[in-house]
Amino acid sequence: MERLRVNKLLVVYTLLVFLTGVLITGAVLTVKGYDVPWIAAQPALAETQQSGSSSPPAQNYPAFFGADTIEKIVEKAGPAVVKIETTVKTSSGSNPFFNDPFFRQFFGDSFRINPQPRIQQGLGSGFIISTDGYILTNNHVVDGADEVKVYLTSRLEPYEAKVVGSDSELDLAVLKIEAGSNLPILKLGDSNKVKVGNWVIAIGNPYGLDHTVTVGVISAKGRPITIDGNEYKDLIQTDASINPGNSGGPLLNLDGEVVGINTAINAQAQGIGFAIPSSTVAQVLDQLLEKGKVVRPWLGIYMQPLNQDLAKYFGLSSTEGALVGAVQEGSPAEKAGLKRGDVILEFNKTKITSPQDLQKAVSESKVGDKAVLLVYRNKTTIYVTVTIGERK
């Protein structure tokens, strides 16, 4: 009994010592001004003790989610986020019955209804990327608009905007406003470094509610989706709330950098939004600014993969390669002499194992480049030189 009592006292004593240590450490961190949880602060505290410094290294702070982290990011980034209003003028059309000759015979021209103009309003978001007024947004926000107006937080009256460049496939557009040369901007970050689970912040104008801020995490990367007939590739998925009007607004990391452009919502799944990765934007931004469009290299063939039956039919020993199913008229492939039934085995000495390999090789080429293809035709191999064209 005596031994049992001693063991119990030792357990109680050990717990008291541990809890006292936790409280003292927490108090020390509070006094030093570390506004972070005790457990999260330990790595920084350990580094401080090793270096002999009186404060933790600054580079550790972004890993901590303080009470005012979002507030500071929004305060800095908010002025560079804009509201975009568009106007599309359409005709209401004439009475469809007037197209019927029997209807006109009975009622005559007096029944003709003159077309009346109808104005449709659109709403979206965007953000400034240069101090002299270039703005990034979605193509679908400004597509077909007769008038584009941009609202900044610095004044009530809107600026008239010009569409400098756009691309429907990537759903990107660049606008330009004349508002001086000292505008606030947002910097494009590297979406390739973003990981699933990272915190992100969305700023935009959902339903016209200016500068609404929502917070969430990266839910997934590389999502291919189709919404309202539009096919999107390699999107970032997030649970930060994105609603109509958010389109074109920035998705920010905790450094205040743009890692995505909010572009779509899934109406069938609440709480799921998608953004165009900033790495995709960076690849085409110069083209949109300088040429007003994205220039895409083009070969002009329809491809299909080889299976065992096709390989046997053509006399091939493997299913590697890209089978030419058809050649487009007037294409670079036709001019180079490629034919239906050819199997492309190499592209500039790079082995082609599938149509995806060839598609990637062409997409990484530049318009005007010459490519040497190793082609299997009639149970023999030949070399074909093709000049990469521009897809219209």
Given 247, 342, 357, 365, which residue is catalytic? 247
Going along the chain from its start, the domains and CATH numbers come out as: 2-64 (no CATH), 81-177 (2.40.10.10), 191-290 (2.40.10.10), 297-390 (2.30.42.10)
**Cα→Cα distances 32→21, 25, 61, 82, 112, Å:** 17, 11, 15, 40, 82
Catalytic residue among 140, 166, 191, 342: 140
Q: What is the b/e burial string over 115-149, where b = at least 16 CB atoms within 10 angstroms of the residue's CB?
A: eeeeeeebbbbbbbbeeebbbbbbbbbbeebeebb
Name 227's bridge partners.
230
211 is catalytic: no
Catalytic residue status for 140: yes
165 vs 103: which has the higher pLDDT: 165
The residue among 141 and 271 whose pLDDT is bigger is: 141
Position 7 scores a pLDDT of 53
H/E stretch holding 15: helix 2-31
Answer with the residue of higher pLDDT: 296 or 232: 296
Query: Considering only 40-49, 154-163, 316-325, which range has the smallest mean pLDDT?
Result: 40-49
Candidate list 171, 191, 219, 241, residue with the active-site label: 171
By CB atoms closer than 10 A (0-12, 13-18, 19+), residue 156 is exposed
Mean pLDDT score, 220-235 = 82
* pLDDT value, residue 87: 92
Tokens matching residue 313: 């039919």
Res 249 pLDDT > 60: yes
pLDDT, greater one: 23 or 167 = 167
pTM for the whole structure: 0.71
3-state secondary structure of 175: strand
Closest CA to 242 of 215, 210, 279, 219: 215
